[in-house]
């Protein structure tokens, strides 16, 4: 079905649907002439979905909403990933979809560097010692001391907006950057050598830090499993800020427990919230964050910048939209 047109006779009704984020408050500060409201639960959204022209959403999304959303014309996802949306259903109902790609690039990239620096400077162990009121003595064996990032090799798996921003920050610390992506457009981007995912087995052994920043697709599901972790250096660190299902979590836990790798920074898990019986909670060589790499004080405004640009394009019937997923 062709995408639905916006009426010139009335302002579209926007619904901000999120359990926690304050999009309505941030939107009100823009002083724009739109009708809008917020919901915090799927029940609230289901009750009012037939009023909505534009839906700003991510975690609360359910594909069944399309059947009862008679006025819905556009969904602005607040996340970069769009795997939760049934693309064929969107086409069927003539609803446009755009991602929040780029809205959290700075936040996620800075999070990655914070985790790398925490491991490199052993800040996670310092916090453990602080809780125990333990003063660590100087270390004689250089292999167990804090480290420096200069001349270390970072392998970024997924070289989109976030991957490129990570490489920018990492290069400031003197790191050597290599990257992979699904669709190889050119061999060098922004001074970084880029390879296809198929070459990962050849690249993994050379990396001191591996960062997952690729989207979840059928091709990338369990992209990192036991065979990939066995290829990593024992001194290497593994960081995932993409999606939990890209990693075989059992294989990761095995690699951490058996010291096949030095540590892991895990922001996304196979099951969220992470079950209380997960071994990841208690492993000392893990830094866990609850899928908050992209969450900052600027997050709402970053997404609203994308939304407002798309509203302008929709008003003029211009295509494509910013980060448009569907034609």
What are the catalytic residues?
243, 272, 291
- Exposed e or buried b for every residue in 211-231, given b needs 16+ CB within 10 A? bbbbbbeeebeebbbeebbeb
| Cβ 86 vs Cβ 63: under 8 Å | yes
Give the count of beta carbons closer than 10 Å to the beta carbon of residue 181: 19
Residues 6+ apart with CB under 8 A from 295: 104, 107
- Exposed e or buried b for every residue in 75-112, given b needs 16+ CB within 10 A? bbbbbbbbeebbeeebeebebbbbbbbbbbbbbbbebb
Cα–Cα distance, 9 to 19 (Å, whole number) = 32
Q: How far is CA 61 from CA 37, 41, 160, 251, in A?
A: 16, 10, 24, 30
Q: Which residue matches tokens 């970072």?
A: 154
Q: How far is CA 250 from CA 205, 220, 244, 269, 281, in A?
A: 21, 17, 12, 11, 13
Find, among 144, 154, 142, the residue nearest to 116 by Cα: 154
Beta bridge partners of 202: none
Cα–Cα distance, 165 to 162 (Å, whole number) = 5
Chain-centre distance for alpha carbon 68: 29
| Cβ 242 vs Cβ 216: under 8 Å | yes
């Amino acid at each position: 079905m062709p995408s639905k047109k916006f009426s010139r006779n009335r302002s579209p009704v926007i619904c901000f649907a999120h359990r926690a984020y304050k999009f309505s408050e941030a939107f009100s500060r823009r002083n724009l002439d739109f009708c809008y409201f917020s919901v915090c639960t799927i029940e609230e959204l289901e009750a009012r979905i037939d009023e909505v022209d534009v839906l700003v959403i991510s975690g609360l999304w359910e594909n069944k909403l399309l059947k009862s959303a008679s006025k819905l014309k556009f969904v602005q996802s607040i996340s970069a990933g769009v795997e939760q949306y049934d693309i064929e259903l969107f086409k069927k109902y003539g609803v446009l979809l755009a991602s929040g790609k780029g809205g959290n690039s700075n936040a996620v990239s800075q999070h990655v560097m914070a985790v790398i620096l925490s491991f490199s400077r052993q800040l996670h162990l310092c916090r453990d010692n602080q809780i125990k009121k333990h003063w660590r003595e100087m270390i004689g064996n250089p292999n167990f001391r804090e480290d420096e990032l200069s001349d270390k090799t970072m392998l970024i798996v997924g070289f989109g907006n976030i991957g490129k921003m990570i490489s920018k920050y990492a290069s400031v610390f003197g790191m050597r950057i290599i990257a992979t992506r699904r669709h190889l457009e050119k061999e060098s981007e922004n001074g970084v050598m880029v390879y296809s995912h198929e070459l990962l087995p050849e690249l993994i052994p050379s990396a001191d830090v591996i960062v997952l920043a690729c989207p979840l697709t059928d091709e990338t599901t369990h992209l990192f499993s036991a065979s990939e972790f066995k290829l990593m250096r024992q001194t290497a660190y593994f960081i995932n800020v993409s999606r939990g299902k890209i990693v075989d979590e059992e294989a990761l836990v095995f690699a951490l427990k058996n010291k096949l790798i030095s540590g892991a920074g895990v922001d996304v898990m196979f099951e969220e919230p992470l079950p209380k019986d997960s071994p990841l909670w208690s492993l000392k060589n893990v830094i866990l964050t609850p899928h908050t790499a992209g969450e900052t004080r600027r997050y709402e405004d970053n997404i609203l910048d994308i939304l407002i640009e798309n509203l302008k394009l929709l008003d003029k019937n211009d295509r494509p939209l910013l980060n448009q997923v569907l034609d």
